[in-house]
Amino acid sequence: MTDPTETETDEPPVRVDRPREHVARLTLDRPDAMNAYDESLLRTLVARLEELDSDDDVRAIILTGAGDRAFCSGVDLENMPLTPEMEFADYEAGLGLFQNVVRTLRTIQTPVVGALNGYALGAGCDTALACDIRIVSENAAIGETFIDVGFVPGDGGAYLLPRLIGEARAKELIFTGRHLEGEEIVDWGLARECVPADELLETAESFAAELATQPPIALGFSKSLVNESADVDLETAFEHATRAQRICAQTDDHAEAVDAFAENREPEFTGE
């Protein structure tokens, strides 16, 4: 059956690799367009994320861009899935394609490590912000550049950025369109570390492999609890944590962790 996110003549715009056990890597593969979003890339990325999230063998995902210039430079201006002339419902649907990338990154259970190899601008910035952890190369640059074209962050940036770095700093970046580069991204609290470009994938794979050793069910619930933490009150957070803890308590992985502790050995989790 033909994948509806691809055509028979086009190369897939997202490449899938398995660099390590339980780790998958997604690469936005439009390097000639600086990995800018067109409709095919938007739809394919969501489809691949959902497929990997449903694969029990995948416990961590790396998201990066092809080439050495860009993670994702935003929207492809020559092939935009939305225009100002559209009826509102059509415009809403077009913008929804971008929003669905962020929604999917935030709601799938599998942790996603963003490996930023170059420009992450506009919608590409919002995609990077939606990853659970970011590791950047010295060549990386991240920016909410919507203001430069008279737009607002339409893909979740105004929601995510204040949660990551606080309201005042988020407003500074959004109001000015300023780029943060390399180590500066770490200094602003938007990345775990900055490494030389030729070490980026190896560093991201090592960290993802570390995540993949954790019990997947507990890791997935932990991601969900943290992601909702700014949007629910304490009692709701307690309620959700109790439900998640009860489920985790009944898993084989919890029993394995208890046994491994008693036997003074490293646990081997199965995701069950």
pTM: 0.92
Query: Each residue of 203-247: pLDDT tens digit?
Result: 999 999 999 999 999 999 999 999 999 999 999 999 999 999 999
The mean per-residue pLDDT over the stretch 246-255 comes to: 92
The residue among 5, 16, 135, 19 whose CA lies nearest residue 71 is: 135
Which of 175, 196, 211 corresponds to the end of one domain? 211
Q: For the chain, how many structural domains are there in total?
A: 2
Residues 172 and 243 in one domain: no
Q: Is residue 87 part of a domain?
A: yes
Domain that holds residue 22: 14-211
Give the domain CATH number at 88. 3.90.226.10
DSSP 164-232: HH-HHHHHHHHHH--EEETHHHHHTTS-SEEE-GGGHHHHHHHHHHHHTTS-HHHHHHHHHHHHHTTTS
Q: Is residue 8 part of a domain?
A: no
Q: Which tokens is 77 given?
A: 């201006």
Cα distances (Å, whole numbers) of residue 237 to 164, 224, 228: 19, 11, 8
Q: Is residue 106 part of a domain?
A: yes
CA dihedral 259→265→270→272, nearest 10 degrees, is 20
**Amino acid at residue number 49:** L
**Biggest CA-to-CA distance, the chain:** 67
Residues 232 and 185 in one domain: no
In whole numbers, what is the pLDDT of the chain averaged over residues? Answer: 92
Share of the chain above pLDDT 70, in %: 96
Residues 57 and 191 in one domain: yes
Cα first-last separation, the chain = 31
